[in-house]
Structure 1
Amino acid sequence: MCCQRRHHRGHVRCHRPSARGGARGRPQGAGRGRRSAPGAGGDLRPGRVTEQPRVCVVGSLHYDIMVRARYLPRTGETLMGDAWWWKPGGKGGNQAMAAARHGAGVEMIGCLGRDEFGARLRERLTGAGVGLAHVRTVEEGSGMSVAIVQGDGDYAAVVVSGANRDIDEAQIARTGDAIGSSRVLLLQNEIADGANAAAARLARAAGITVILNAAPARAPEGLAGLVDLLVVNAVEAEMLGGGRIDGLESAAVAARELLTLAATVIVTAGAAGVAAAGIAAASDAETLTVPAHPVSRAETHGAGDVFVGALAARLADAIPLPDALRYANGAAALHVGTPEADRDALGPADVRRLLSGVAAK
């Protein structure tokens, strides 16, 4: 049994739990106003934000080298590529820039090397509106990755963490003001678990919403009971025990299965769309789904990070989760369908035009 309703101008489909997926109780994670009481979890319900919504990102910064080729080479094969370029990356950096471009005031906590890669990354992050007061410069080289983008827009990458390995609990302990002054703390799995756990504890003590993008796919040690909202893609959801995903319905089932890891779980299912389950998913149903927007794919690299960053920006502005999901879903679709050179200019106005056009059909 399901219900279908409109949230502002788009469709969000809500699903009541089946006997197989039933609700596991109402986990903590919702309060009222800007902060809830210490230890009660972050506020994912709408409230009044009287200043620019703030997001604090603790995570990785990489210098990404992109190579375009017709396909991925086999073992032992030398393949001639078509082009290469560099872009700022790391899940932390990508999500921080996305959150800033979608309206949030963003503070980044991380590490860069004392090298040209680090200098270029600082320049690009600053230009995107990301605060870097808590980004340390260390002696180890900056993190970097090499990604091969195929003709159909899919890609594969190799990441070298470099300076990101220097993000530790001592650095996090010195950044309590950046975390405490935010509405949302955004974490990923590209830095040490101890640093993530230290940041989450500070956020929980201040009543700040904690979002974990569990990529690479693992359940980090020390985060039990500290994550309000978990975001994973279909592959990551399967690896974490959510079962096989082949569309939105199975993504919704996976989201319910993963509620042992967070109060609310979001599973992005690529071209199918997005599914969510848990305390903030819907007011009268256990799961909801948002279909993807049909777009011509330019390149999928970074789309997941745009989704997470845009979602964090909307939630920091006290937008209800169903509407924040619709917005983030649209932001990711625009990213996928826009050539690399034009993506930096995408922002809230573009997403609203996309959503308005869909609602008008």
Structure 2
Amino acid sequence: MTTASPSVVVFGSLHYDIMVHGPARPRKGETVTGNSWHPKCGGKGGNQALSAAKAGVRSHMIGAVANDDFGRALTENLARGNVDHRFVKTVAGVGSGMSVAIFDSEGDYGAVIVSGSNLTLGQPDVDAASEVFAAGGVLVLQNEVPDHANVSAARAIKAVGGQVVLNSAPARHLSEELEQLVDVLVVNAIEAEQLAAVPVVDTLAGALGAARQLADRFPVVVVTAGGEGVACATKGGDEFTVAAIKVELVSTHGAGDEFTGVLAAELARGKEIHTALQAANRAAAILVSTRHPE
């Protein structure tokens, strides 16, 4: 779809991340001595909104934080990134969302999130941001807020002819209603395996097989395969792969969000899926090979 002024609406999560670096991620019952740590503003929703804005489209964030230091840092970060955050509400009685991510010496990581204020999102937040939805564009959703909240947001954008991109992460069961509202599904191998209910090998061939199977349920399916690349299949029978750009890996953290945010921005500009995926693939490669100040 093409609009006079491309717009991406991100409805979803904001987390204050604590990044811990060590030689390895701990196994069950193990304590590992780390090398360093630093804070970072994140949440899949916040990251994707910032990536869309960086890609040059109007980016709107609808979310929730608490009246705490984490919440203030999160909204200030959106403002610095030129994201419209007028509809990020502040709630009482619960803390802002946060996470702890532990990185190993190879740049891979595992994380634990505490959703906090993100779980308060619902229909009232969609209603409060009606002017944003009325403008149409591309809506980006994730699985870090309640399913019913995602359904409400998806209904609102579809009512005006907009497009729904669901980054189904972290993996969880999707309601039938939400599935029927999704135009583009974006998942990694683990998430694809959960949705498809069959083993998925983390290779391009495995990703394409999973995309092909999930295309029975979604119009467009994108399955990322880490350093191998990305595969796409459509309900209409089209399918293709895009090989990863070979770079020196610094950190994989945020790569999926960068990919999804840029993909949404390109779709909002009216680009077809193959072109949009190539741009998203390039952006993710740049991110994982860039050393950011701590």
Q: TM-score range by the shorter chain?
A: over 0.9
Q: Give distance in 1, aligned partners of 2:22 and 2:217.
A: 38
1:238 to 180, 184, 193: 193
- State the aligned residue count: 291
Q: Which letter maps to 2:136?
A: S
Q: Does 1:176 align with 2:116?
A: no
The 2-side partners of 1:50 and 1:190 are apart by 31
Task: Please report how far the alpha carbon of residue 201 of structure 1 lies from its aligned counterpart in structure 2 after TM superposition.
Answer: 0.7
The residue that corresponds to 1:96 in the other structure is 49
Residue 239 of structure 2 corresponds to residue 287 of structure 1: yes
Match of 2:159, SS state, is helix
Match of 2:146 in 1: 192
Separation (CA, whole Å) in 1 of partners of 2:179 and 2:204: 27
Contact 1:180/1:208 (CA < 8 Å) preserved in 2?
Answer: no
User: Structure 2, unaligned stretches of length 5 or more?
Assistant: none
| 1:173, distance to aligned residue in structure 2 (A) | 2.3
Instruction: Give distance in 2, aligned partners of 1:171 and 1:225.
Output: 21
Q: Deviations over 1:314-349 (max 9, x none)?
A: 11111111111000001001111111229xxxxxxx
When Rg is computed on C-alpha atoms for both structures, the one with the higher figure is 1
Which secondary structure state, in structure 1, belongs to the residue aligned with residue 222 of structure 2?
Answer: strand
The amino acid that maps onto 2:99 is S
Larger RCO, structures 1/2 (Cα 8 Å, 6+ apart): 1
Specify every segment of 5 or more residues in structure 1 that has no aligned partner in the other structure, as ranges.
1-42, 343-361
Percent of counterpart pairs with the same letter?
47
SS in 2 for 1:57: strand
- Give the TM-score taking structure 2 as reference length: 0.95
TM-score (norm: length of structure 1): 0.78
Q: Which residue among 264, 279, 284 is the counterpart of 2:220?
A: 264
Question: What's the CA shift for 1:307?
Answer: 0.2
Residue type at the aligned position of 1:326: Q
Going from structure 1 to structure 2, the CA distance change for 1:250 and 1:74 (only over 3 Å counts) comes to: closer
Task: Report the equivalent of 2:20.
Answer: 67
Offset at residue 171 of structure 1 (A): 1.7
1:155 alignment partner in structure 2:
109
* 1:213 alignment partner in structure 2: 167
**In the alignment, which residue of structure 2 is the partner of 1:273?**
229
- Contact in 2 for aligned 1:65/1:84 (Cα 8 Å): yes
Contact persistence 2:19–2:37 (CA under 8 A) = yes
- Please list, as runs of the form range in 1=range in 2, the aligned pairs for 1:25-174 lying within 5 A after superposition: 43=1, 47=2, 49-51=3-5, 53-139=6-92, 140-174=94-128
C-alpha deviation, 1:239, in angstroms: 1.5
Q: How far apart are 1:279 and its partner, in Å? A: 5.1
8 Å contact kept, 2:232–2:241: yes
Task: Using the TM superposition, give the Cα deviation of residue 75 of structure 1 relative to its aligned residue in structure 2, in angstroms.
Answer: 2.9
Which residue does 2:275 correspond to in 1? 323
Over the aligned positions, Cα root-mean-square deviation in angstroms equals 1.5
Q: Choose the corresponding residue for 2:293, options 328, 341, 354.
A: 341
- How far apart are 1:214 and its partner, in Å? 0.4
Is the Cα–Cα contact under 8 Å of residues 49 and 59 in structure 2 kept in the other structure? yes
